[in-house]
């Protein structure tokens, strides 16, 4: 079956790798805050791109809903809320403006999108996949980032229970992945970065996790070394 799939944060990294992978067999719309011309990674010509900055969650929700209507998409089989940002800080003291930005982009926009996209998902009896992080339990290097992802963990736990039988809701917690995120976060992982998981392998693990509909799932080294990126059911 050809699916209709929406992926936020699909202008780079994990989201784009997942979108490229799925675009061969499905219709995929991706979002990002940057202009289309600023996308530097491989971008499948089959993808539909929507520029929607989640720094203003309410505006982003409106732009995305309008884009769906404009494209004539009346249902969504899969929604992957993956857009995210984070900043490394010293002494676990975040900057107030960055607290707001991180919570807006990672938590509030994700929650508002879940709410607004409900009719599309319900119509397809679809799956809502939310991207957390292994940091969701708390990490001194990025306290607010961890908090924003912890929020998503509790959110999914409640919503998965509420929507059972209507829309599957799951949270996936990726482990360290080789994307621009670490450089953007102002965190130099040094030599460690080379052992991080490739975005394409992470995308494979995500696709299999999406088709399993299980939650919560941690997609980190353990799963990877156990063959998580080569074994699983595709969507």
Ligand X SMILES: NC(=O)c1ccc[n+]([C@@H]2O[C@H](COP(=O)([O-])OP(=O)(O)OC[C@H]3O[C@@H](n4cnc5c(N)ncnc54)[C@H](OP(=O)(O)O)[C@@H]3O)[C@@H](O)[C@H]2O)c1
Specify whether the CB–CB gap between 108 and 60 falls below 8 A. no
For ligand X, the binding residue among 20, 33, 114, 127 (CB under 6 A) is: 33
Tell me the C-alpha distance between 183 and 88, whole Å.
10
For other proteins, the binding residue among 25, 100, 187, 213 (CB under 8 A) is: 100
For other proteins, the binding residue among 22, 131, 146, 171 (CB under 8 A) is: 146
Closer CB to other proteins, residue 216 or residue 232? 216
Please report, as residue ranges, which positions from 167 to 226 form the binding site for ligand X (by CB under 6 A).
174, 176-177, 179-181, 184
For other proteins, the binding residue among 63, 88, 99, 124 (CB under 8 A) is: 99
DSSP classification of residue 74:
-
Nearest partner of 147 among 190, 98, 187, judged by Cα: 98
Tell me the C-alpha distance between 221 and 204, whole Å.
14
- The helix (run of H) or strand (run of E) holding residue 203 is helix 199-212
For ligand X, the binding residue among 55, 58, 71, 157 (CB under 6 A) is: 55
Q: Is 214 in the site for other proteins (CB under 8 A)?
A: no
Per CB under 8 A, which region of 31-39, 109-117, 185-193, 195-203 contacts other proteins? 109-117
Nearest partner of 213 among 144, 163, 148, judged by Cα: 163
Of other proteins, ligand X, none, which one does residue 179 interact with (CB within 5 to 8 Å by kind)? ligand X
- Specify which residues 29 forms β-bridges with: 6, 48
Specify whether the CB–CB gap between 142 and 87 falls below 8 A. yes
Q: Which residues bind other proteins (CB under 8 A)?
A: 57-58, 61, 91-96, 99-100, 103-104, 107-108, 111-112, 114-116, 118, 136-140, 142-144, 146-155, 157-159, 161-163
């Amino acid at each position: 079956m050809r699916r209709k799939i929406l992926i936020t944060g699909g202008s780079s990294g994990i989201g784009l790798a997942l979108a490229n992978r799925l675009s061969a067999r499905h219709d995929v719309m991706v979002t990002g805050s940057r202009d289309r011309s600023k996308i530097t990674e491989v971008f499948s010509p089959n993808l539909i791109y929507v520029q929607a900055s989640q720094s203003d969650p309410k505006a982003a929700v409106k732009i995305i809903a309008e884009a769906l209507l404009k494209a004539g998409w009346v249902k969504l089989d899969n929604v992957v809320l993956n857009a995210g940002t984070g900043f490394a800080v010293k002494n676990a003291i975040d900057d107030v403006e960055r607290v707001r930005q991180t919570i807006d982009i990672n938590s509030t926009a994700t929650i508002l999108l879940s709410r607004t996209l409900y009719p599309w998902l319900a119509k397809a009896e679809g799956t809502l996949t939310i991207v957390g992080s292994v940091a969701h339990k708390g990490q001194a290097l990025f306290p607010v980032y961890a908090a924003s992802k912890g929020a998503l963990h509790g959110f999914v736990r409640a919503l998965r229970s509420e929507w059972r039988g209507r829309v599957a809701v799951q949270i996936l917690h990726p482990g360290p992945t080789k994307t621009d995120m670490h450089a953007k976060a102002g965190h130099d992982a040094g030599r460690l970065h080379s052992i991080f998981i490739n975005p394409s392998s992470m995308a494979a693990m995500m696709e299999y996790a999406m088709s399993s509909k299980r939650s919560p799932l941690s997609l980190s080294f353990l799963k990877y070394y156990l063959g998580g990126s080569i074994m699983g059911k595709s969507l």
